[in-house]
Structure 1
Amino acid sequence: MKYGENKEVVTAICKETVEEAYLEKQGFIGDDVADLRFHGGPDRAVCVYSYEHYSFWEKEFGSSLPSAAFGENLLVENMLEQDVYIGDVFQIGEAVIQITQGRVPCHIINKRTSNEALLKRMVETGYTGYLCRVIKEGMVRNDSEIILIEPHPKQISIDFANQVFFHRPKDIEGIQKILEVAELAEEWQKPLLKRLENLTKPV
């Protein structure tokens, strides 16, 4: 992808809309991941973003955004960060997915949108999107309905987890609540366990 004054970066953020795609454990067939440190893998196979956020950002910054501006695999409605919970299981087409963590935005988003303020604002607002693992592989169409088939009993929302992860590093109770969700992605378990260890060790 080119950005700025003819600069280039290797990225898979530039997605294209398709009629259908097969979703397997590592993600959608035909979709690539350029940086495995922050994206991809079984716990982060699918990136979901809310359609409603596009109008928010376009109003805030006074400019339109490109399609799949955030590198999302699924653009959804009525599934905001405060309304979905880590561990929730959804049917979409033939596939079944489970929410595992909030999405940690990366600097490529700023380059993709030519907006150096966007990443910071995503973290501030909590409008990060979220990541999922694939429980059942299958075909997904662009008109497939997303159905909640197994709500998680702990009800730790992505919004709550984002607030603790990004803004409340010393919130012991909040960290403990998030870690109680066994379905949490390992990429969030590790740093949160480390924080908890540092916060609770004897002085």
Structure 2
Amino acid sequence: MATCIGAAQPIATKSGMTGHFKVPQAGGVTVGETGLVGDTIVDRANHGGPDQAVYIFGEGDRVWWADHLGRDLPAGFFGENLLVEGLCSADLALGDLLVIGDVTLQITAPRIPCVTFAARIGDPKGVKMFHKAARPGAYARVLQGGEVAPHDTVSHIKYDGEHIGIVENFTQFLAGFPDQAFLERLLRVPAHYKTHQLAKGRLGNRT
């Protein structure tokens, strides 16, 4: 596992600055309610907060992207806080737990890309590429804080309720949540609070 944090840096997008550029840390990093201590979030309107405190990416997804783009992609390239070996986006579902020592994280949502990702890979079609790949990684809330360090063991505990995979959530979001049954399922899992708000609003408009 790699643990990554980053400082604000300039980027060629409308915002002009981003905290996307993460760097692997050699030692332990403290994880609090709002994420990894020392990490920077520039766009707080769309990123961060207790339900989006830690961004997790799988090593399997990183390798796929490296092959797809034909170049090396170091840990932190996708703006992830944790790069987990033996993990892919398709392995994760809303409500799943990742336990790393004393730290417990709960999966809440897929990452939805923005123009920052396109700028990062240097391709204006980057967002469409991310959509098509359907390997979004996942955001998590911190149920129990503590310290994480490189090469810590990560235990994946699957949610024992309604199963909504991260990839399924991602594709439904991109389609505009057309399925009422899916929206009802979303309300039965411990998803991101904004996801619950959206589901309630859509269901209310359809009754």
Tell me which residue corresponds to 2:155: 147
Contact 1:93 1:141 in 2 (8 A): no
Aligned runs of 1:1-203 on 2, under 5 Å?
Answer: 1-3=9-11, 9-18=16-25, 19-149=27-157, 151-167=159-175, 169-181=177-189, 183-198=190-205, 200-201=206-207
Equivalent AA in structure 2 for residue 125 of structure 1: A
Q: Flag the 1:116–1:24 CA change in 2: closer, same or farther, 3 A.
A: same
Equivalent AA in structure 2 for residue 56 of structure 1: W
3-state SS of paired residue (1:112)? helix
Contact 2:29 2:149 in 1 (8 A): yes
TM-score with structure 2 setting the length: 0.86
Deviations 1:95-131 (A, max 9, x none): 1111111111121111122122222121223211110
The root-mean-square deviation of aligned C-alpha atoms, in Å, is 2.1
5+ long unaligned stretches in structure 2: 1-8
Q: Flag the 1:54–1:17 CA change in 2: closer, same or farther, 3 A.
A: same
Contact 2:138 2:166 in 1 (8 A): yes
Give me the whole-angstrom Cα distance separating, in 2, the residues matched to 1:8 and 1:44.
20
Q: Flag the 1:59–1:79 CA change in 2: closer, same or farther, 3 A.
A: closer
Q: Flag the 1:9–1:176 CA change in 2: closer, same or farther, 3 A.
A: same
Deviation at 1:149, TM superposition (A): 4.2
Give me the whole-angstrom Cα distance separating, in 2, the residues matched to 1:98 and 1:134.
6
Deviation at 1:180, TM superposition (A): 1.5
Deviation at 1:3, TM superposition (A): 4.7
Deviation at 1:8, TM superposition (A): 8.0
Contact 2:105 2:140 in 1 (8 A): yes
Report the number of matched residues.
Answer: 198
Give me the whole-angstrom Cα distance separating, in 2, the residues matched to 1:35 and 1:71.
13
Deviation at 1:82, TM superposition (A): 2.1
5+ long unaligned stretches in structure 1: none
TM-score with structure 1 setting the length: 0.88
Deviations 1:67-114 (A, max 9, x none): 412110001133322221111122113211111111111211111221
Deviation at 1:66, TM superposition (A): 4.8
Contact 2:111 2:138 in 1 (8 A): yes
Tell me which residue corresponds to 2:3: none
Contact 2:33 2:53 in 1 (8 A): yes
Give me the whole-angstrom Cα distance separating, in 2, the residues matched to 1:170 and 1:186.
19
Of residues 98-107 and 109-118 in structure 1, the stretch that sits farther from structure 2 once superposed is: 109-118
